[in-house]
């Protein structure tokens, strides 16, 4: 039963990583930019949850609304700043977005201090339910349900809507898409904004699980990059599979082999890259 409860923790953590990594993968897919400031967007959402946390569902809704608007604005700015750098390759993107991440981390520390801050779940979701002999947080179960809905919604938007078709056309052949009248620049900006909103949403909803604190942005960014590498950049289904794998390795690995847990994820990543090197690049 202990392993089953831990696997449920792994599912929650994996879905949290998916919410963040899906945005990272989307931005890479449409603009070919490795956004190393993506962890900062997550941390912005987590601090937003802290600011609006008042024990009510309305506070959580306000954090999601304000965070979503701020994330969309940040995504539009990010697209405008990084698009001129596309001609210089991935190294220029990485350095530019890494600089933005450093500036954001310094700003967060100046405003919120260097200590971890509380971001409690709403009172309505603060209890626990019995799973066998174990008590399990209600908020974590609610998070799993909401994150699953987000994953399904992202998949349906990409695969079943006109907006998703425009994104796929822009990713697969931007020149041909532009020739047929698709406003590729607008599609790219909207996709980057959507990816940023996903990261901020992950921060708001994940704050009661990880908590806003300096360094969380780096942890989430590194794990999200691993998810994207495992699942394939630009692949939403692959990102979900990679996120669930990383979530289980991180939680079950820590329970089964605590001393070797820090190296287990690296071993899994190495195994995936060795056996499936072509998964590194897949279309949306």
Dig out the tokens for 68 from the structure. 């979503």
SS3 257: coil
pLDDT value at position 280? Answer: 47
pLDDT band at 71 (very low <50, low <70, confident <90, very high): very high
pLDDT reading at 128 higher than 80:
yes
Q: Which pTM value belongs to this model? A: 0.90
pLDDT (tens digit per residue) in 205-246: 999 998 899 999 999 999 999 998 888 776 788 899 999 999
Q: How much is the mean pLDDT over the chain?
A: 88
Which of 40-49, 118-127, 128-137 tops mean pLDDT?
Answer: 40-49
Quick: pLDDT tens for 244-253: 999 999 888 8
What average pLDDT does the segment 77-85 reach? Answer: 86
Q: Is pLDDT above 90 for 19?
A: yes
Count other C-beta atoms under 10 Å from residue 107's C-beta. 12
Residue 120 is predicted with a pLDDT of: 87
Tell me the CA distances in angstroms from 113 to 109, 127, 138, 208, 260, one per residue in order: 5, 29, 30, 18, 33
Q: Name residues whose C-beta falls within 8 Å of residue 113's C-beta, 6 or more positions apart in sequence.
A: none
Measure CA of the first residue to CA of the last residue in the chain; give whole Å.
37
Does the pLDDT value for residue 78 go beyond 80?
A: yes
Q: Which positions ≥6 away from 246 have C-beta within 8 Å?
A: 14, 17, 223, 226, 227, 230, 265, 268
d(CA 204, CA 60): 8
Predicted confidence band of residue 170 (pLDDT cuts 50, 70, 90): confident
Reported confidence tier of residue 281, pLDDT bands at 50, 70, 90: very low
The residues near 99 (Cβ < 8 Å, ≥ 6 apart) are: none
Across residues 44-56, what is the average pLDDT? 93
The reported pLDDT for the residue numbered 180 is 84
Residue 283: what pLDDT? 53
Does position 193 have pLDDT exceeding 90, yes or no? yes
Percentage, residues of the chain above pLDDT 70: 96
């Amino acid at each position: 039963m202990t392993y089953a409860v831990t696997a449920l923790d792994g599912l929650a953590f994996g879905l949290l990583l998916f919410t963040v990594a899906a945005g990272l993968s989307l931005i890479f897919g449409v603009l070919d930019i490795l956004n190393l400031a993506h962890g900062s967007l997550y941390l912005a959402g987590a601090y937003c949850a802290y600011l609006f946390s008042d024990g009510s569902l309305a506070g959580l809704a306000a954090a999601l609304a304000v965070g979503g608007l701020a994330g969309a604005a940040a995504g539009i700015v990010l697209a405008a700043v990084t698009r001129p750098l596309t001609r210089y390759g991935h190294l220029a993107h990485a350095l530019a977005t890494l600089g933005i991440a450093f500036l954001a981390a310094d700003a967060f520390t100046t405003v919120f201090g260097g200590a971890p801050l509380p971001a409690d779940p709403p009172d309505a979701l603060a209890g626990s339910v019995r799973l066998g002999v174990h008590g399990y947080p209600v908020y974590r179960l609610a998070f799993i349900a909401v994150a699953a809905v987000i994953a399904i919604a992202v998949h349906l938007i990409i695969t079943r809507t006109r907006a998703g078709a425009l994104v796929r056309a822009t990713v697969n052949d931007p020149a041909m898409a532009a020739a047929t009248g698709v406003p590729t620049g607008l599609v790219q900006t909207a996709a980057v904004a959507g990816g940023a909103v996903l990261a901020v949403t992950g921060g708001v909803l994940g704050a009661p699980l990880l908590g806003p604190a300096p360094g969380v942005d780096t942890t989430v960014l590194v794990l999200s990059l691993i998810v994207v590498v495992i699942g394939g950049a630009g692949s939403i289904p692959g990102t979900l599979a990679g996120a669930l794998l990383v979530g289980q390795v991180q939680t079950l690995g820590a329970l089964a082999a605590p001393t070797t847990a820090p190296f287990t994820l690296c071993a899994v990543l190495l195994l995936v890259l060795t056996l499936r090197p072509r998964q590194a690049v897949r279309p949306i």
